[in-house]
């Protein structure tokens, strides 16, 4: 790849031709605030927070869409740049519930004159579940703005909250119209369940015909949710994990890598592992929302069961395997069948069908995913 050299904030940096100015800045360790940008989405340039000044180019340009070129001189922190960013941010905050910004600035719940719901549950604010994990808070803090300055302009409660999806809610009152969710649904999953509808103050993220999410073609994969920079898309059940462990999704043979968020010995959150070669951090509805349910389900079997006196009783694995071996002994091949599991790996399922055909001598092989 062809290398180019440019100057950014007085510092000479090397880049690869085809990179954007935002890519170059991040590679050089220079911070440029963003809200609509996400690494695995196409550049959008909608929030205007990443604008920079380029020598010999009039005005400001969005760094996330502007390609870097040889000899370019770029300034990321000037009076004009900060004025444009501040204006864009003020317009976003004017129509956004901002009590959380006071909490973030104070590093504790804000006083009652700012927020009437200051109760914290499981280390999170009930006023906004994204509090302290919100990119808008981070950008506002960087720009030196306080929600208190803009409180008179807030217009909350304009949209009703869509709670129809069984796994997550859509609160359009917190939406900043960055379109990350829309782009993820189109570019990553290829479903296109949501899009930007209407114009002006009425603009919002909507499904076809403005139906509830449950009545749309949404697959509930949650790819939109994980890319939301604010609390507009949030899971119905939120507990912040205190630890994390890497593992593989057990639902099918694809082998998606995931990270389990743990709290008090329980799985409270599941996220995709971006280093996973099979899924690159993406998950389906089963992987993202189904693991916690079955792992901790009250009806889940945790030990082998053997029927004794008409009742199932717990047994050791040796007892269970000895019983199975005795039942299979002396049976004709056509009397036996093997049912494998979609939650097993491809390798395990391959061994299972080889066991059925070569050891048991039967071709009666099936799997649970067909049912």
Write out pLDDT tens, residues 240-262.
899 999 999 988 878 899 999 99
Q: Mean pLDDT for the chain?
A: 88
Alpha-carbon span 117 to 120, nearest angstrom: 9
CATH code, 243-295: 2.20.25.90
Burial label for 90, CB within 10 Å (0-12, 13-18, 19+), is middle
pLDDT for residue 180 is more than 90: yes
Domain map of the chain by residue range?
A: 3-88, 157-238, 243-295, 331-370
- The confidence band for 343, taking pLDDT boundaries of 50, 70 and 90, is confident
pLDDT for residue 208 is more than 60: yes
pLDDT for residue 15 is more than 60: yes
- The confidence band for 123, taking pLDDT boundaries of 50, 70 and 90, is very low
Structure tokens at 67: 């390609």
The region, left, alpha or beta by phi > 0 then psi within -120 to 50, assigned to residue 351 is: alpha
Dihedral sign from CA coordinates of 105, 31, 175, 225: negative
CATH code, 3-88: 3.10.20.740
Q: 157-238 has which fold?
A: Alpha-Beta Plaits (3.30.70)
Write out pLDDT tens, residues 276-321.
999 999 999 999 999 988 888 888 888 999 999 999 999 999 999 9
Residues in CB range of 105: below 8 A, 6 or more apart: 141, 146, 147
Long-range contacts of 10-18 (CB under 8 A, 24+ apart): 15/68, 17/68, 17/69, 18/67
The answer to whether the CB of 168 falls within 8 A of the CB of 236 is: yes
């Amino acid at each position: 790849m062809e290398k180019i050299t440019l100057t950014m904030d007085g510092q000479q940096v090397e880049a690869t031709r085809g990179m954007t100015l935002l890519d170059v800045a991040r590679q050089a360790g220079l911070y440029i605030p963003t809200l609509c940008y996400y690494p695995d989405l196409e550049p959008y340039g909608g929030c205007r927070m990443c604008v920079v000044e380029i020598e010999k180019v009039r005005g400001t340009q969005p760094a996330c869409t502007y390609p870097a070129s040889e000899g370019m001189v770029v300034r990321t922190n000037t009076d004009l740049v900060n004025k444009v960013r501040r204006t864009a941010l003020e317009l976003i905050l004017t129509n956004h519930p901002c009590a959380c910004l006071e909490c973030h600035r104070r590093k504790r719940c804000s006083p009652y004159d700012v927020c009437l719901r200051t109760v914290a549950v499981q280390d999170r604010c009930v006023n906004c579940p994204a509090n302290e994990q919100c990119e808008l808070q981070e950008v506002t803090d960087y720009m030196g703005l306080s929600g208190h300055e803009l409180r008179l302009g807030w217009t909350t409660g304009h949209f009703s909250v869509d709670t129809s999806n069984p796994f997550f809610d859509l609160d359009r009152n917190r939406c900043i119209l960055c379109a990350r969710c829309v782009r993820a649904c189109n570019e990553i999953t290829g479903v296109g369940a949501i899009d930007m509808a209407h114009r002006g103050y009425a603009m919002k993220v909507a499904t076809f015909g403005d139906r509830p999410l449950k009545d749309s073609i949404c697959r509930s994969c949650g790819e939109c949710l994980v890319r939301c920079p604010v609390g507009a898309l949030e899971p119905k059940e939120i507990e912040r994990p205190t630890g994390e462990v890497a593992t593989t999704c057990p639902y099918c043979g694809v082998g998606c890598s995931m990270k389990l968020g743990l709290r008090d010995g329980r799985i409270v959150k599941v996220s995709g592992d971006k280093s996973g070669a099979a899924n690159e951090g993406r998950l389906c509805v089963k992987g993202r929302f189904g693991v916690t349910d079955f792992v901790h389900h009250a009806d889940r079997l945790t030990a082998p069961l053997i029927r004794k006196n008409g009742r199932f009783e717990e047994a050791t694995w040796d007892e269970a395997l000895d019983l199975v071996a005795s039942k299979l002994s002396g049976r004709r091949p056509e009397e036996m069948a093997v049912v494998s599991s979609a939650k097993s790996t491809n390798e395990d399922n391959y061994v299972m069908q080889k066991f059925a055909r070569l050891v048991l001598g039967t071709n009666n092989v099936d799997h649970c995913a067909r049912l």
